[in-house]
Amino acid sequence: MYAQMVDTGAKRVRSLDELSPEERAFQERIDADIKIEPKDWMPEAYRKTLIRQISQHAHSEIVGMLPEGNWITRAPTLKRKAILMAKVQDEAGHGLYLYCAAETLGVSRDELIADLHSGKAKYSSIFNYPTLTWADIGAIGWLVDGAAIMNQIPLCRCSFGPYSRAMIRVCKEESFHQRQGFDIMIRLCQGTPEQKAMAQDALNRWWWPSLMMFGPPDADSVHSAQSAQWKIKILSNDELRQRFVDQTVPQADFLGITMPDPLLEWNDERGHYDFGPIDWQELFNVVKGNGPCNRERLSARVKAWEDGAWVREAALAYAEKQAAKAAKQAA
Amino acid sequence: MTTDRTLFDYLLRLADSDLILAQRLGEWLGHGPVLEEDIAFANVGLDLLGQARMWFAYASEVETRMNGRGRTEDELALLRDGGDFRNLLLVEQPNGNYADTIARQFYFDVWHELLLTRLERSADARIAEIAAKALKEVTYHVERSTDWIIRLGDGTDVSHARMQAAIDVLWPYTGEMFTADATDRALTGDGVACDSESLLAPWRERVGAVLSEATLTLPSAEWMQRGGKQGVHTEHLGHVLAEMQWLQRAYPGAQW
């Protein structure tokens, strides 16, 4: 999940009877699965929540380029280097689609970026963990992109047209990312004992943070209910998390590596895997800014933006000069 | 006369310049001045990396002909030491600020396009084929770096000063693109390679025209650095290789 704990401004979900006629008509459209488009009337809280959710998702793509970009220059083969460059480039592209989708709601990309840099806007907690070995690039594709897809496939059906269409494009590329990550893991697990140990170590470090990507348990999540009503959240945090565990455990078995969870066990009665308790304190801490790489990630983004200011200013100045010349010629 | 030895050496020059420049561009990814630039430079880097791989593949075939076994692209890229690298000194220069990166790219792109246009007609069919494919990509690279030279040169006072400084600093690394050594001469005689010296006039003309539109001055310094094509590099290459080759060297023989 690239958007976690998105605030909807709601304390509880109101029933249809409690809504104004406009709000009621809006909710009825959503209930009938008719997409909301940027020019349609929408409640202010819906608009604000979507801006928060979509921009958080966009920021996650952009910040997410950093941990993976960390290995482009050290990729072990030319083929892996090309794949990784293409993948990180895709993420920049996803960021772009998503910023554009958010802009249809009446904010500018610059405002959204300013909110990221000031710390007001969040991005997914997962990107505050370090990529220490090449196996981490495999684990990110396999687990992090795997978790992202789990969340984003349902969002292809979300109520807001531009977001839903962006998700359809993003998901196509994400599934390629997930496969390339798993392919790295296969190669490592079939490799030397050192490579296999590298794969196990990456799984140990990325497993729990990946489960946290889906957000806090449903019971603690007021905002989820409102988002579900608006169909900008289709499945609950716990449902998605369970699906992810059920899908991923057999893949780890195939690789011959083990989840770092002694309580993980198939439950015949439920038809799902049971898993151990998640350390929510860790998630809240990382979201607050106290993860292993929060400071580095944000300062890398701010540095890129500040170092690039003169380039953006120059491009703008040049465009203005050209426009002035064209106007003069036309006159 | 063209021998497999000289052909192999020539192919490595083409491959290595593409590879090292792609490696440098890879360093930018995620740190560019605006998202669209991250995407664009990733594209250029990917093109160059793809071209390097095509040249390596052909070099490997030639080496097989010579020695019975040709090294793979990864062995060639990741297990040779600096003295065996044949790239231009220009491409190993650090990224610096955006003007430095753009100046390096522009000097290279204009030369690259001229070179590939000639190699497209090489007497060696494989070279002609790879050059034709690469040329399609490089035509776009030239367009893009030209646009940026003009924008930054004719943008603000700050960007103008930075662009001019970058143009001046990198200038002495452009000379070796146009000097021919024994390898060049051997292959040029057979129509396999093109006469490097003959690329100088059109290159200067093109670069001069763009710099003038960008309100920048074409440097007049005559003295030029050299050595890349013969394997004598600047101090920067060793660091590029230390980073790029590290995993292959730390885990010898492992498959990734």
Interface predicted TM-score of the whole assembly (ipTM), two decimals: 0.97
Mean pLDDT of chain A: 95
Find, among B63, B55, B49, the residue nearest to B19 by Cα: B49
Label residue A16 by pLDDT band (50, 70, 90).
Answer: confident
CA angle in degrees (0–180, nearest 5) for B58-B64-B70: 75
Q: Are A30 and A231 in contact (CB under 8 A)?
A: yes
Domain count, chain B: 1
For residue B97, give every residue at least 6 positions away whose Cβ sits within 8 Å of its Cβ, in sequence order, or none.
A307, B162, B166
Distance from CA of B102 to the nearest CA of A (A): 11
Angle of helix A237-255 versus helix A146-155 axis, rounded to 10:
140
Domain of B76: which CATH number?
Answer: 1.20.1260.10
Kindly determine whether residue A85 and residue B26, on different chains, have CB atoms separated by under 8 Å.
Answer: yes
Distance from CA of B33 to the nearest CA of A (A): 4
CA angle in degrees (0–180, nearest 5) for A326-B100-A94: 75
- Percent of chain B past pLDDT 90, that is, above it, reads 98
pLDDT single digits (tens) A130-140: 999 999 999 99
Tell me if B162 is assigned to some domain: yes
Does the structure show a pLDDT above 80 at A9? no
Which residues is A272 bridged to in the sheet? A267
Q: Which of A77, A313, A321 sits opposite B256 (nearest CB)?
A: A77
Residue given tokens 């290159």 in the structure block: B203
Q: What is the pTM of this model?
A: 0.96
Kindly determine whether residue A312 and residue B34, on different chains, have CB atoms separated by under 8 Å.
Answer: yes
Alpha helices by DSSP H, listed for chain A, are 21-31, 44-69, 78-103, 109-118, 134-139, 146-155, 161-189, 193-212, 222-229, 237-255, 280-285, 294-307, 309-330
pLDDT single digits (tens) B219-229: 998 899 999 99
Q: How far apart are CA A158 and CA B50, in angstroms?
A: 38
Range of the domain at B237: 4-250
Task: Give the chain B residue nearest A314 (alpha carbons).
Answer: B155
pLDDT single digits (tens) B28-57: 999 999 999 999 999 999 999 999 999 999
Tell me if B116 is assigned to some domain: yes
CA angle in degrees (0–180, nearest 5) for A228-A230-A234: 40
State both tokens at B49.
């990396």
Using CB atoms and an 8 Å cut-off, which of residues 22-81 of chain A contact chain B? 62, 65-66, 69, 72-81
Highest-confidence segment of A19-33, A222-236, A265-279: A265-279
Contacts of A317 in chain B (CB under 8 A): 155-156, 159
Tell me if B256 is assigned to some domain: no
Q: Which of A78, A79, A96 sits opposite B35 (nearest CB)?
A: A96
To test the contact with chain A by mutation, choose from B19, B37, B38, B49 the residue with the greatest count of A C-beta atoms within 10 A, namely: B38
Question: Which phi and psi angles does B131 have, rounded to 5°?
Answer: -60, -40
Q: How far apart are CA B214 and CA B224, in angstroms?
A: 24
State both tokens at A285.
């801490």
State both tokens at A264.
């993980």
Find, among A63, A74, A215, A64, the residue nearest to A140 by Cα: A64
Tell me if B255 is assigned to some domain: no
